[in-house]
Structure 1
Amino acid sequence: MKDGDFILTESTAILEYMVQKHKAPDHWFPSELQPRARVNEYLSWQHTNLRATGSKVFVLKAVFPVMMGSEVPKEKMDAALGALNESVALLENYFLQDKPFIAGDQISVADIVAIAEIMQPVGTGVDVFEGRLKLSAWRDRVKAALGEKLFKEANEVIMKINDLTKNVNKTILEMMKPKFQMMFS
């Protein structure tokens, strides 16, 4: 994000900056100490947990087959899905508990970041909401808080990722393939 000469490159820092710059309603990044600490705790945790596991499943399901011309080996996919399920369980059982949203009774940037990470594997056909009533109810509250139209618009590209990867430039794929092979060998 660039604001004049000021540049930020970290997503959660950008979110906090934008909330403060535009004086967004307090619930997005609460001023009260404990709800703000809960938002910060989630934002600190998610980088190496839900983001990492959701992104890995996304890459293995959507990018790997296009890049490598084959499906991901079952043991790699099973391990990635297991790690994702662990992260989702922590989101559900630790961060949400019995609250409507991560920081309490109102939606915050933590919920926006969480739903964005979860929708990546969902876009590849992995339904992380299946059998998770608490998580599904939270998703529905996030959708309602944002509005159905905005939620759909925000996830439009990710929900069509399998169609989009079919039209990728094959020359670019071949150039990227050696680096990709190193990542997943």
Structure 2
Amino acid sequence: MPKVKIYVDMLSQPSRAVLLFCRLNKIDIEVNMIHLDHGDHYQQENLLMNPLAQVPWMDDDGFILAESHSIMRYLAATKKGVPDHWYPSNQQRRARVNSALDWELSTLRRGCTELVLSKVLGPIYGISVPDKTEKYSREILKKSLGLLEDYWLNGPGRFIAGECAPTIADLSLVCELKQLDLMDVEERSEIVDKYKRVQKWMAEVEQELGPHFEDVHKVHYVVAARAQAGREEMPESERHARQSILECLTPA
């Protein structure tokens, strides 16, 4: 059987979730890097495969599929050897996992993505973001973290929706929250530190996933460190700090 082709950008949190799932389950894949900052997703050959022009997407022997949640559901259902806990065959447990994934898209993801855009990526790329976007995204994020703390992690198990082992929902949500590493350390702490159950869950998921988690986040960690270093520079060095981050985003 041919390898499953996975198209990802390592700075994309949904891309990292799919890649993590494949590595954890030893799915035979061919990784293709799509650099969003270079517009690779708009190249003609990529648009022919994926007109949605978003990462990740996959090609399984000619079957093209986009959207990270759908990709992980498909791989869990079709690839041999994937343990049941990732996407439970019990329909009620599976429904809860699906519910968490659907909830993430309009809440946690929106809050994280728009806040990081406002505070970090917008200034780096010279994108003007209205002040109300930052305020609104911060409110969404805090409300989402509260629901994650009091609802999604308030079950009999340690993981999302009360599961006793991680599911694809845990992969997706933890990769989403890791995006906040790009923010100023103190500002991130002000947002996240009060949610003790969320912090404990994140630490347990990272520990459960082992070295694969660290490996998939290598580029992310470098960019986060450079972003933090850039904020600590004197104002006259701001242009050089931004350039340092952009160099990390540029493929070798």
> TM-score, normalised to structure 2's length?
0.60
Greater strand content: 2
- Aligned residue pairs: how many? 167
- Could you list the per-position Cα deviations for residues 139-170 of structure 1 after superposition, in whole angstroms to 9, with x for gaps in the alignment? 121012101x222222222233352753438x
Structure 1 residue 124 corresponds to structure 2 residue 186: no
In structure 1, the residue matched to 2:207 is 144
- In 2, distance between residues paired with 1:108 and 1:166? 38
- In 2, distance between residues paired with 1:7 and 1:73? 36
Query: Unpaired segments of 5 or more residues in structure 1?
Result: 170-185
**Root-mean-square deviation over aligned CA pairs:** 2.2
Could you tell me how far 1:74 is from its partner in structure 2? Answer: 5.8
- In 2, distance between residues paired with 1:55 and 1:161? 16
SS at match of 1:8: strand
- Could you list the per-position Cα deviations for residues 45-91 of structure 1 after superposition, in whole angstroms to 9, with x for gaps in the alignment? 11111111111112112211112288x67654333222111111112
- In 2, distance between residues paired with 1:37 and 1:79? 30
Contact 2:112 2:177 in 1 (8 A): yes
Structure 1 residue 81 corresponds to structure 2 residue 144: no
Alignment of 1:1-185 (within 5 A): 1-23=58-80, 24-68=82-126, 76-98=133-155, 99-103=157-161, 104-125=163-184, 126-127=188-189, 128-147=191-210, 149-162=211-224, 163=226, 166-167=243-244, 168=246
Aligned residues: percent identity? Answer: 31
Contact 1:124 1:161 in 2 (8 A): no
Aligned-partner residue type, residue 81 of structure 1:
R
Aligned-partner residue type, residue 168 of structure 2:
V
Query: Unpaired segments of 5 or more residues in structure 2?
Result: 1-57, 228-241, 248-252
- In 1, distance between residues paired with 2:111 and 2:127? 22
- In 2, distance between residues paired with 1:82 and 1:59? 15
SS at match of 2:192: coil
Higher relative contact order (CA 8 A, sep 6+): 1
Could you tell me how far 1:112 is from its partner in structure 2? Answer: 0.3
Aligned-partner residue type, residue 195 of structure 2:
R
Contact 1:124 1:159 in 2 (8 A): no
- In 2, distance between residues paired with 1:34 and 1:69? 43
Could you tell me how far 1:21 is from its partner in structure 2? Answer: 2.3
Greater helix content: 1
Could you tell me how far 1:132 is from its partner in structure 2? Answer: 1.6
Contact 1:123 1:160 in 2 (8 A): no
- In 2, distance between residues paired with 1:62 and 1:154? 21
- In 1, distance between residues paired with 2:134 and 2:196? 24
